Amino acid sequence: MTLTTEQLMLVEQRLANDKKSTLVAYLLWFFLGGFGVHRFYLGKSGSGAIMLVLMILGWLTAIFYVGFAFLLVVAIWMIVDAFLIPGMITDNTAQQRLRLQLEMNAGMPAAAVPPVPAG
């Protein structure tokens, strides 16, 4: 997968425009973190949905004192996420870069695609 300098510049420009903001991620974490909104923002929708369900179950069952266990799990998860957010942004950017490079490579004319060695 060899891209020209122009294509690499286009990929990096798209990444600069589409990159997730660390500030926005931390603001979402601080204000809505218990609901997993920061995880939805960073493309981790599965774990964001789990956080959301745990938070809702925690509040609904808090009157039975069972919900406090769910809320404790969410609180610990939020503290851990405070340290994981920069890595999640880096992973998201790397995935976007790979996806854009593959799209750019797929859009190349057949003559420009390097031949695959037989073997």
Angle (nearest 5°) at CA 92 between 46 and 81: 60
- Per-residue pLDDT for 118 more than 60? no
Does residue 101 surpass a pLDDT of 90?
no
* 56 inside domain: yes
CB 89 within 8 A of CB 20: yes
List, for residues 6-47, the tens digit of each pLDDT value. Answer: 888 888 999 999 899 999 999 999 999 999 999 999 999 999
Number of domain units in the chain: 1
Whether 42 maps to a domain, the answer reads yes
Q: Is 3 within a domain?
A: no
Residues of the domain holding 49: 22-106
Cβ-defined contacts of 81-85 (< 8 Å, 24+): 81/29, 81/33, 81/38, 81/39, 82/26, 82/29, 85/22, 85/25, 85/26, 85/29, 85/38, 85/42
Q: What are 25's two structure tokens?
A: 């991620």
What is the model's pTM? Answer: 0.81
**Is residue 12 included in any domain, yes or no?**
no
**73-94 confidence digits (pLDDT tens):** 999 999 999 999 999 999 999 9
In a domain, 116, yes or no: no
Is pLDDT above 60 for 111?
no
Is residue 33 within 8 Å of residue 78, measured between CB atoms?
yes
